[in-house]
Amino acid sequence: MIIKEMIPIVERLEREGYIKDKKVAEALLKVPRDKFVPEELRDYAYIDTPLSIGYGQTISAIHMVAMMCGALDLKEGHRVLEVGTGSGYHAAVVAEIVGKNGQVITIERIPKLAERAENVLRELGYDNVIVICGDGTLGYEPLAPYDRIYITAAGPDIPKPLIEQLKDGGKLVAPVGQYFQNLILLEKKGNKLIKKNLGEVAFVPLIGKEG
């Protein structure tokens, strides 16, 4: 099903270069963002802006979800780790791209948000998403290694456990910094870590043992 409210947003993001991958566009058009925001903010669900989801957390702007998904170069069948479930919206978009043969493991430190996200994801049929309540800065060793990892909160550096749990040849996207943040794309090639700065961003703080 196509979410008609998303069509003009996706078309604009394609024109502006935020979306370069057809798979990202198709995924955004399928995920009902209004289901992931608090009821009192549903009139704003299809505006390209962050929105509060409570507990000092936000659902990312649509262009940022598109940009991170594109940078990750997601493929069908990938196993992906998300640090910072929040509303569950970003995980749903990734789940659409990796497909039923793929898997998204998403970690949220705030129990109420984890529970809410899991309920919405189940209601919408995203059975390829596993929601875990815990410290995302430590990753999730039982299902490692991961083809792709992304972080939806900013820390002073990329947590070492996440780099260790990334497959050789895998990619990781994370906002890095405190007052001033940059979105960093890291690619793991053997003992080499290749980093690319994708530009300035603004995210909530990454909290945890390695945050």
Q: Which residues are catalytic?
A: 60
Could you give the CA distance from residue 131 to residue 86 in angstroms, rounded to a whole number? 11
Contact call for residues 52 and 25 (beta carbons, < 8 A): no
Report phi then psi at 160, rounded to 5. -60, -40
Contact call for residues 172 and 146 (beta carbons, < 8 A): no
Contact call for residues 50 and 164 (beta carbons, < 8 A): no
From its phi and psi, is residue 100 left (phi > 0), alpha (psi between -120 and 50) or beta? alpha
Burial 197-209 (b: 16+ CB within 10 A, else e): eeeebebbebebe
Could you give the CA distance from residue 194 to residue 149 in angstroms, rounded to a whole number? 15
Report phi then psi at 63, rounded to 5. -65, -30
Report phi then psi at 209, rounded to 5. -55, -40
